[in-house]
Structure 1
Amino acid sequence: MPENRAVIYKGPGHVEVEEVDYPTFELKDGPGVNPDNVGRQLPHAAILKVVATNICGSDQHMVRGRTTAPAGLALGHEITGEVVETGRDVEYIQTGDLVSVPFNIACGRCRNCKEGKTGICMYVNPDRPGSAYGYVDMGGWVGGQAEYALVPYADWNLLKFPDRDLAMAKIRDLAMLSDIFPTGFHGAVTAGVGPGSTVYIAGAGPVGLAAATSAFLLGAAVVIVADLQADRLAQARSFGCETIDVSQGSPTEQIEQILGEPEVDCAIDAVGFEARGHGSDSQTEHPATVLNATMDVTRAGGAVGIPGLYVTGDPGAADEAAKEGSLSVRLGLGWAKSLSFTTGQCPVMRYNRQLMMAILHDRVQIAKNVNATVVPLDQAADGYAEFDRGAARKYILDPHGMISS
């Protein structure tokens, strides 16, 4: 049995690569594992040799100590890999397949899964609908920032790449299918982006840049990306976005300078609960800032897509209400403008096959747009630290040295 190593959360600001158990077809006890999941038999699972596994902003929330994640949790929910073993009940996925793993864990059997709502599967997390690998309060499924990872319900969850050689040639792009590309696309779709749309995206991190890429793919006429980080705004401009530095003030006037009017057709919140204020408040956290700003700049009758993460437990919040996810959102403004809102995990399987085809047939360059940067698994801690400092990069961990330079 091969050895296995994984990125382990040790406490706020601290991750290490450590030896961990090789996956088996049974969910075992460990940090963050729901007691009702311990001993769960997984004959429907597959074990993957991880080819690529990414550092995500959602991981960063945990590493900053902004969730109730326990020390010892193996991190990582963005996984691309090669199947090396399958359980006895796996029928269609085969050893040797190169696959993308949706970050949502879904059974394929419950009502929500059958309706395509794979982000809120009812059976994989005993606490509440919805689950993910290596994430707090998500049932305790082991994270994939590792050399080997287990994927339950493999026939349902795994997306097989049709041509291995072509897939390896485009592996940096395909690695984005596990989360940020579908998540950004979901944000754009739910915001109503279409041909000729004007779009405002709050946040120029990887999800915001993926949303911008998606907006162009959907036919947007103008994509405006806002952030506080100059390097991230430069990355957005590198593929045709207009940009706004919200450290200079609220976005309304800057949008008017670009469009000739202060409102857009569609808005996307790609920031989430660690939002900072605008202008003179840009160094202070105000978690409802982006939600309120997107409502303010979206035309009446428009929509706001919210792929940015909001949590029910934030021990690092500035006030007691925010610690349990209660924010000062101007719902009255949204109501008065008849705005639509879509929140929650992206149902990755709704989009990943189509986006795979767009990548394989050269319709999009998502890795270039998010500045994908490959580093060895041993450099995971450095990747987390640089990302936390605002690096305009999407870090891909390469556990086995399989990604060519």
Structure 2
Amino acid sequence: MTVNVGYLDKRAGKGFFPIQNPETEIWYPCNPDSVWRYASRALSGENTKIKTRFMEDWIADRRIRFPPNEKVVVWSSKEELLSAIRVGDVPKSGRSPMLREELPDLDFWVGKKVGFGTPRFKRYKKDLRSPTQPLSSWITPRSEIDTIEAGVNAIVSGTNDEGAKVIKDVFGEKAFNYAKPVSLIRELIRQSTGLADIVLDFFAGSATTAQAVMELNAEDGGDRRFIMVSSTERTEAEPDKNLCRDVTAGRIRGLNRTDDGKYAELSAGFAYLVTREIDFSDLDYDLTPQEVWSALEAIHGLSLTVYDETLPFNAHDSDDVTLVFSDRPDERLRGYIESLGPGQSTFVYVWAPGALRDWTLGEATEVRSVHDTLKQRFQQ
């Protein structure tokens, strides 16, 4: 009876409203995180045309099954209702309360019989597109775990409900629709990767894959890494929308800083990177020092670090190579280069290598042009 859209979402339309059992006069609230699939005629207007039927029609045709023998309460005042909300004694969907202090029209519920059960939609076999549902011989829902025979190698997964609950745990609200269950992605990664593999998700969405990698590493001590790729999904109506920044990266940040018992052991250092197009002829003018530094570290297979613009140059030492970049070389860079010992391969990147031709360089030190290196690396 519901669709996985929050009541503040524009797609919710006229789907957020209470419904009543006409025989018992018991009212049922709508889940703020999953509005009704069917619109209300009272809210939409008599002349509104819709593709299906109004909720009132389904109720009149007895296609809505109201729960029997349920808990029913009547709040005599708004203060009594607010008190019940604060202690969690209100109708819920899973663990999520369906009556909340921030919801509009809370006064509506005062003095009415309110049911704690969940109405269901009665569907007849003749109305089904197919009389059977597909079964998976590989992935078993957690609710059917007792059907797996001993010794069978099978993936046990939660449902999209699990994905939605995890999103709410991390963000404190429903920040993303249709999140995949972490358990499913975790088990797929468990069966398909080694302890030090890189997992790439080109449609990262809410970063379920990142959390799955973090959970596996915490469980088996692995060193798997992840690359999450997502777009902003901004539109003309929402020019400031940035799904990648606020949800994809936001989930990873949230997991890193939480002290919740379920996620306290999860951690993953990560870099948030933004791509943009630059003409090769404009590299010298459009690239920032941080962008140059990130590109050079990636080219040399080094972990990404933050470029410090207060220093005359930045250096990254590893066991195999030393990487140096100076946006504007001066004598301090010269002193550093001439002090380098023999043996360590050192690559010095500057915009104008000719300015360093009179400097004393070690045999293992090579000066390269930033412009030429990036152009040769990325130009197709």
Q: Which has the higher contact order (CA 8 A, sep 6+)?
A: 1
For the pair shown, the structure with the greater C-alpha radius of gyration is: 2
Normalised to the residue count of structure 1, the TM-score between the two structures is 0.24
TM-score (norm 2): 0.25
